[in-house]
Amino acid sequence: MTTALPIDAHVRLDVHPTHSSAVTAVLTGSQAHIPHVGLEAANWTVVAENTLVLARIDHEEPYWAEKAAQQLGADGVSVEITPRLREAMAEEWTWADYPMPWCTRSEIREVSDAAQKIYDDIRHGQLLIHAHAEDGHTTVAVGTYLGSGKSVYLHGQDHLRQVADTFDSPAQALVAFEKVHGAAMRPGPAPMTDTERAAAQAGTSPPAAESGPPHPQPETVPAYAADAGDHDALLEAFLDAHGDWEKWRTWSDETTHAIHESQTLRIERVHEAHPRETAWTIAAYETPVSDRMWVLTATAATPAPVLQELLDHLADGDGWDTAVGAPVDEKTVAAATHPLSDAGWKHTVEGRWIGWTSPAGDAGVRFDAFAAQHPSQNLTTWTVWAGPGPDRPTWALTASPHTPSSLLADLSETLAHGTGVRHPQAAGRERGTILGTTPPAMPTVAASPATSRSR
């Protein structure tokens, strides 16, 4: 085995002072150009003389920085790794609510690295994006590699973007894409995500010296835009403070049930629900053995202030009952939404839908007049939402016709005037145990837009 000759170059690797996961490399020595070339080839970006930054959309910079350090050392370059970067390299973490839970940690990294390569190809102009569209909760796009002429259908964003299909020509790709996404199709690439924007910013200017805390401070925002916080802690605090509730957890440890001593009000809490899936179901009954009078659900991303208001209302013990069979009339709707009207939320009527939308257009309440006429079916009559729109909410809360107007009014008051805290997000990362491997329960990519594919 040949030993590399020492090179008069020193590389100091450190955590980027303002970008949560990026890594900086400062080069010194008369032969600093040698590791400079190697780092550039490994997709490090030059931001100043002898200063490079590794900023990725998959937040795996410490892992790849460690690989780079090993290669530099093998080439005879002196490498220094700061203690805080070593800590980041040793950190074990998983993606919160990763949509492919059967993947091992290394498999997740492979998926993320493939997404990173797609992003880099787009960024460097090697992959030309012809059009994009919103597809449910994600983005799809179609583009062509300028070198090979191969066209691809892309599904997902950031670290989940994948090539879901390939085509022999841009014409074939665009025809197939328009067939599926014609109504939502938009020319060119989609707007940059927050993750892409942050990575681009870290790779375009020299890292500034830290003048304060390394991470942005929490900000006060409207209650509907606040963090979800710790829902389990909110439930535990509620149960600890109210002895008239009793709880038990299912044998699989996935769900907690809480029942009021009257046995006419019940809470179901699903602990590991996806942020946009139902994590809370609250139901009221006329008697312990009767059918539901009303039911309310909330998704896992529901902000803590909104959920706290809901639990506070349940704790008060008032307004649980609603007369079964009583019509949901104009007076009931007005009582439930008057805080929104008083706060200047925009009021609209579109067919069966009556809506109230925040001044910023990022939250709202929607009433379904058709569902309200079928109270015995417990249909979704009220929808409280925040995010891009009522059909693509970041979080949502739904309620059946006979949900007490006093409860809905309390929630409306919180939406209109309440505030909460939003912390800077770590792009879905969370510390924890490495994911285990389980058999796949669903495909890793969405269905192709083409009924017959060309490869």
* Residue among 393, 419, 420, 417 nearest 340 (CA): 417
The reported pLDDT for the residue numbered 424 is 62
DSSP conformation class of 372: H
* Whether 403 and 387 share a structural domain: yes
How many other CB atoms sit within 10 Å of the CB of residue 173?
25
* Whether 384 and 318 share a structural domain: yes
Answer for the pair 96, 146: CB distance below 8 angstroms, yes or no. Answer: no
131-145, 290-304, 311-325, 355-369: which has the minimum mean pLDDT?
A: 311-325
**pLDDT at residue 76 greater than cutoff 70:** yes
DSSP conformation class of 237: H
The amino acid that residue 424 corresponds to is: P
Last-in-domain residue among 66, 91, 116: 91
* Whether 70 and 111 share a structural domain: no
The amino acid that residue 142 corresponds to is: V
Q: What angle do CA 421, 311, 392 make, to 5 degrees?
A: 60
The reported pLDDT for the residue numbered 229 is 86
* Whether 292 and 398 share a structural domain: yes
The amino acid that residue 293 corresponds to is: M
* Whether 359 and 256 share a structural domain: yes
Q: What percent of the chain has pLDDT over 90?
A: 55
The reported pLDDT for the residue numbered 198 is 86
Alpha helices in 75-193 (DSSP H): 83-90, 105-123, 170-181
Confidence of residue 455 (pLDDT cuts 50, 70, 90): very low
The reported pLDDT for the residue numbered 378 is 78
Domain that holds residue 63: 10-91
Tens-digit pLDDT profile for residues 354-365: 999 999 999 999
Mean pLDDT of 50-68: 93
User: How many domains does the chain divide into?
Assistant: 3
What is the torsion angle, in degrees rounded to the nearest 10, for the CA atoms of residue 300, residue 306, residue 308 and residue 312? -130
* Position 452 in a domain: no
The residues facing 348 across adjacent strands are 355
**pLDDT at residue 381 greater than cutoff 90:** yes
> Which residue bears the tokens 């839970």?
101
* Position 322 in a domain: yes
* Position 306 in a domain: yes
The amino acid that residue 401 corresponds to is: P
Tens-digit pLDDT profile for residues 242-290: 989 998 876 666 899 999 998 889 999 998 888 889 999 999 988 888 8
Q: Specify the higher pLDDT residue, 392 or 23.
A: 23
Mean pLDDT of 303-326: 76
273-287, 323-337, 343-357: which has the minimum mean pLDDT?
A: 323-337
Mean pLDDT of 437-446: 31
Answer for the pair 143, 438: CB distance below 8 angstroms, yes or no. Answer: no
The reported pLDDT for the residue numbered 433 is 33
Last-in-domain residue among 58, 91, 124: 91
Residue 32, CB half-sphere, CA atoms under 13 Å: how many? Answer: 13
Last-in-domain residue among 41, 64, 91: 91
* Whether 87 and 100 share a structural domain: no
Report the Cα 120 to chain-centroid distance in Å. 22
Q: What is the pTM of this model?
A: 0.51
**pLDDT at residue 9 greater than cutoff 70:** yes
**CATH code, domain with 48:** 3.30.780
* Whether 78 and 186 share a structural domain: no
* Whether 306 and 391 share a structural domain: yes
- What are the C-alpha distances in Å from 7 to residues 46, 82, 94? 21, 21, 37
Confidence of residue 208 (pLDDT cuts 50, 70, 90): low
* Whether 254 and 112 share a structural domain: no
* Position 59 in a domain: yes
* Whether 183 and 294 share a structural domain: no
Residue 185, CB half-sphere, CA atoms under 13 Å: how many? Answer: 17
* Whether 274 and 397 share a structural domain: yes
* Whether 78 and 25 share a structural domain: yes
* Position 4 in a domain: no
* Position 68 in a domain: yes
Residue 121, CB half-sphere, CA atoms under 13 Å: how many? Answer: 22
**pLDDT at residue 106 greater than cutoff 80:** yes
